[in-house]
Amino acid sequence: MNIVNYGKQTILKDDISVVEKVLESDFLTTGPKVQEFEFALCKYTGAKYCVVVSNGTAALHLSSMVLLNKNDKVLTTPNSFLATSNSILYVEAKPIFVDIKEDGNIDLELCEEELKKDSSIKAIYAVHFSGNPVNQEKLEYLKKTYDIKILEDCAHSLGASFNEIKAGSCKNSDISIFSFHPVKNITTGEGGAITTNSKEIYEKLLSLRNHGIIKTQTMKPWEYEMQDLGFNYRLTDIQCALGISQLKKLDNFLEKRYTISKRYDKFFEKLENIKPLYPFRKESAYHLYIVRVDFRKFSISKEELFNKLRDKNIGIQLHYMPINKQPFYKSLGYGDEYTPQMDRYYEEALSLPIFPSLSEEKQNYVINSLKGLLYA
C-alpha cells in the first residue's frame, strides 16, 4: 500500500488549467486574481473584507500587529500549531495558555475565569480545532462583557459553521485567519487569508502586506508613502487562481470529509476504549479526524502503535504537542500551567488520515490496521 498521509490536497485538471492561464497572462502577482480570490472568500464566509497573504502564519503575524500592543496579555490554546501563539510573541505580547475541553477546543468557561481575575487581558485567540467551531454565543458574550479583541484561527475550519454562522464571518470576532497549506480544506500551495468586518483593520492589513506602503489619490503618480514597518506577504495570482478554483470545490470536498468521518465513527461505535474526538457534527469542517485511545486499557503503547502504523505506510499524526511545553516556551517561563485536559488529550489523541480522495479501500486499511494492532 502507498503511503496514506493524514491529509493531502485534491488537485483536478481544471485547477491546473486555471493556473496555466495565469502563467500565460500579464500578471503573475499583484494582478486581478488577487481581488477575485478575496471577493470569493468574502462571499463564502460572509465577511465584509478579506486580505490574502503568503501563508497562515503571515496572516496571524499581520493580525497580531493590528490587534495587539507590546505586553498585551492574550488567552490562547496549547492545542494548536505553534504559529497561533508564536504570532502573539512576534509582537512582544504575552500568550496565556488556557486548558482545553474534551473536544480539543479552548475552554471558554476557563477563559471567563481568567478574564474575571485579570481585567488587563486584552484578547482571546481561539482555534476552531480540527474544524469544529468553538461556541460562538459564548465568544459573543465574552467579547461584549469584557470588551476584548477576538481572533478566530480558522486554519482548520474553512467551511465550518455554528448556528449557520460561517467560520470566518467575524460575526463575533475582530479577525479570522485561514491557511491554504496542502493538507488544509483547500490549497494554494502555501497561502493564507485574513477576514474582517472592520474597514480600518482591512486598510491597515492591505498596507502591512505590502511593506507598510500606502498610496492616495492626492499623491503624484510615482509617489508612495511607507507609514509602517510592513512585509512582503503577498500571495501570487498563480496561487489565487488555484484558490478560486479550489474554493468552488469546497462544499464537495466537505461532503467527502463527512462521508469518511461518518464511516470512521460507525466503526469506532463498536469498539471500547477508543472513540472519536466528538460525535458526528455537520458543523465541523473535519480538517482532522481524531480518535482518543485509552492506552491504559491496551497492551500496546502509543509510541509502539505510531511506529507500527507508520511501518504499514499509514501517516498517523498527533495534533498537537502542547505548545506551552516546547523548549522555547519553557525558556520564557511557560510549561507549568495547570492543564489536566490537555495532558490527558495528549496521551490519548491520534489523527487518522482524512482527505477528499481517500478511497474506501484505504480507509478500511487504516481501520483494520489500527484494530489489528490494538486488539492483537
Ligand X SMILES: Cc1ncc(COP(=O)(O)O)c(C=O)c1O
User: 130 near 104, Cβ under 8 Å?
Assistant: yes
Q: Report in angstroms the alpha-carbon separations of 213 from 164, 198, 229, 293.
A: 37, 19, 9, 51
Of 135-143, 149-157, 208-216, 333-341, the segment contacting ligand X by CB under 6 A is 149-157
- From 156, 234, 249, 292, residue interacting with ligand X (rule: CB under 6 A): 156
Of 37-45, 153-161, 326-334, 344-352, the segment contacting ligand X by CB under 6 A is 153-161
- From 192, 243, 276, 356, residue interacting with ligand X (rule: CB under 6 A): 192
User: 316 near 365, Cβ under 8 Å?
Assistant: no
- Give me the least distance between CB of 123 and ligand X, in Å please: 16
- Contacts made by residues 362-365, CB under 8 angstroms, sequence distance 24+: 362/1, 362/4, 363/260, 363/263, 363/264, 365/1, 365/4, 365/312, 365/314
- Give me the least distance between CB of 127 and ligand X, in Å please: 5
Shorter beta-carbon distance to ligand X: residue 181 or 204: 181
Buried b (16+ CB within 10 A) or exposed e, 197-207: beeebbebbbb
Of 1-9, 148-156, 254-262, 321-329, the segment contacting ligand X by CB under 6 A is 148-156
Shorter beta-carbon distance to ligand X: residue 179 or 369: 179
Q: Which residues inside 76-135 make contact with ligand X, applying CB under 6 A?
A: 80-81, 83-84, 127
- Give me the least distance between CB of 184 and ligand X, in Å please: 7
- Give me the least distance between CB of 90 and ligand X, in Å please: 13
- Give me the least distance between CB of 179 and ligand X, in Å please: 3
- From 181, 209, 312, 325, residue interacting with ligand X (rule: CB under 6 A): 181
- From 179, 195, 197, 369, residue interacting with ligand X (rule: CB under 6 A): 179
- From 155, 167, 288, 342, residue interacting with ligand X (rule: CB under 6 A): 155
Residues binding ligand X: what is the number (CB under 6 A)? 15
Shorter beta-carbon distance to ligand X: residue 81 or 334: 81
One character per residue 50-69, x = contact with ligand X (rule: CB under 6 A): -----xxx--x---------
What is the spatial distance between Cα 370 and Cα 352, in angstroms, rounded to a whole number?
10
Q: Report in angstroms the alpha-carbon separations of 313 from 90, 121, 181, 366.
A: 37, 45, 22, 10
Shorter beta-carbon distance to ligand X: residue 156 or 171: 156
Q: Is the peptide bond before 320 cis (omega within 30 degrees of 0)?
A: yes
Shorter beta-carbon distance to ligand X: residue 295 or 320: 320
Shorter beta-carbon distance to ligand X: residue 133 or 192: 192
Of 75-83, 219-227, 324-332, 343-351, the segment contacting ligand X by CB under 6 A is 75-83
- Give me the least distance between CB of 59 and ligand X, in Å please: 7
Shorter beta-carbon distance to ligand X: residue 81 or 345: 81
- Give me the least distance between CB of 319 and ligand X, in Å please: 8
User: 103 near 278, Cβ under 8 Å?
Assistant: yes
Of all residues in the shown chain, the one whose CB is closest to ligand X is 56
Shorter beta-carbon distance to ligand X: residue 179 or 210: 179
Applying CB under 6 A, does 209 fall inside the site for ligand X? no
Interface with ligand X by CB under 6 A: which residues?
55-57, 60, 80-81, 83-84, 127, 153, 155-156, 179, 181, 192
